[in-house]
Structure 1
């Protein structure tokens, strides 16, 4: 119980841009492997933030910029009792593509932008992330927020931070994509692996191995992450948690709440309060 009180997460939502800003502190284990549907760009403020992504272990220290792509699997831990503190921006894929495509080489708008590095020790970039966070966090006038975000995107465009994903298209990749799309289409039905395997005409053991190799999680765990991303979007729009739970295939509102708290360290109602002016629905 002592460790739980030492951990905290504070979130704010900019009403005009929709950008979420999070400042958090953790000791010990912070996050199980998970992913987001946004680009995450943050700065470690204090301590050492250790996490795995792209099949590597990373350690982000004070002043280091860390960057994660949509659906990039990662976890989080502290390496000592002091824990770590970070501040982070959640940027939608549309925002990043709209802002960065005009600033870098031609033709990028036709291809998905991808970070070339997970960590970056760059004082100017860290400064830009920090001030964009400050402008959004304290709800400065729009002209100041716009200027801070413009500075951030210019800094990102001036470094070799981006490359294009050139995924190898083969039979397994196509099948993995089909399995993903099938799960999304049938998410409210709580489908079993055997049902999915029969629909895709593949042995379920091969399907499970192929899916995890391509997406980093077993099908059921991946589906939970997708549901949680959808829940964040719907809660931010003011949808009642009970309706969100029913629409996304959770057993009930309590089931949604347990998964949401485990993944985000916030209850759905507390998250919604940070995103809207609605009364607490808990």
Structure 2
């Protein structure tokens, strides 16, 4: 389970890659739903990314299948409520003691800039100018709040975007150029390091999935 925009390595468990199903819960809807449970404004956090819980796993899969099949809205709502209740009862979702709004404004501003910088190059001096602080402070404050450097965070954002563009059929060369990698090989090295498969393997896997559907 991942919080919105959380950085993760996405390593493939198999050299040929893998396919998976993912259920996205809208953060605004989730927050509103749990405020009804707790009867107070809250901000949620996920206790851990991985958890061994066959019962919960079965419930998540059942909820996913119901949401994506032609079931009644009442049944969909019932399973969603049951899932939310289980996530709280099992202490997987909990109330965050420190709201994201209390994080240093500079860290939040840096994160916002990085999300806007997928398609153009960026350096520390530019970041320093934009947030009006010393460039040597930038790495420290960002890592303290988001557990990675601005560079690592931006690479993850670009790799996620690269997957999206590759799935749409763009060439690896074009994707590398769009996302400010020096060339296809540069993108390929980062892609393999992060996901454990090559660009070619990923493109073939996407093509196979499209062919099956």
- Structure 1 segment 111-130 matched on structure 2, within 5 A: 114-129=45-60
Distance of aligned partners of 1:238 and 1:222 in 2 relative to their CA distance in 1, 3 Å threshold: same
Q: Deviations over 1:90-121 (max 9, x none)?
A: 33354x766x678755399x977532454545
Distance of aligned partners of 1:93 and 1:230 in 2 relative to their CA distance in 1, 3 Å threshold: farther
Q: Deviations over 1:203-235 (max 9, x none)?
A: 111111111111211111111111111112222
Alpha-carbon distance, 1:180 to partner? 1.8
What is the rounded CA distance, in whole Å, between the counterparts of 1:188 and 1:245 in structure 2? Answer: 10
Does the CA contact (< 8 Å) of 1:128 and 1:151 recur in 2? no
What is the rounded CA distance, in whole Å, between the counterparts of 1:232 and 1:130 in structure 2? Answer: 24
- Identify the match of residue 112 of structure 2 among 181, 187, 191: 181
Aligned residue number for residue 36 of structure 2: 106
- Structure 1 segment 157-196 matched on structure 2, within 5 A: 157-159=84-86, 160=88, 161-165=92-96, 166-167=98-99, 169-170=101-102, 173-196=104-127
Distance of aligned partners of 1:113 and 1:266 in 2 relative to their CA distance in 1, 3 Å threshold: farther
**Gaps (5+ residues) in structure 1?**
1-66, 78-85, 136-140
Distance of aligned partners of 1:131 and 1:233 in 2 relative to their CA distance in 1, 3 Å threshold: same
Aligned residue number for residue 90 of structure 1: 22
- TM-score, scaled to structure 2: 0.67
Matched, 1:68 2:15: no
Alpha-carbon distance, 1:253 to partner? 1.6
Q: Deviations over 1:31-56 (max 9, x none)?
A: xxxxxxxxxxxxxxxxxxxxxxxxxx
Distance of aligned partners of 1:183 and 1:115 in 2 relative to their CA distance in 1, 3 Å threshold: closer
More strand by share: 1
Distance of aligned partners of 1:111 and 1:200 in 2 relative to their CA distance in 1, 3 Å threshold: same
Aligned residue number for residue 210 of structure 1: 141
Comparing both chains, which one has the higher relative contact order based on Cα–Cα distances under 8 Å and sequence gaps of 6 or more? 2
- Identify the match of residue 271 of structure 1 among 192, 202, 205: 202
Aligned residue number for residue 15 of structure 2: none
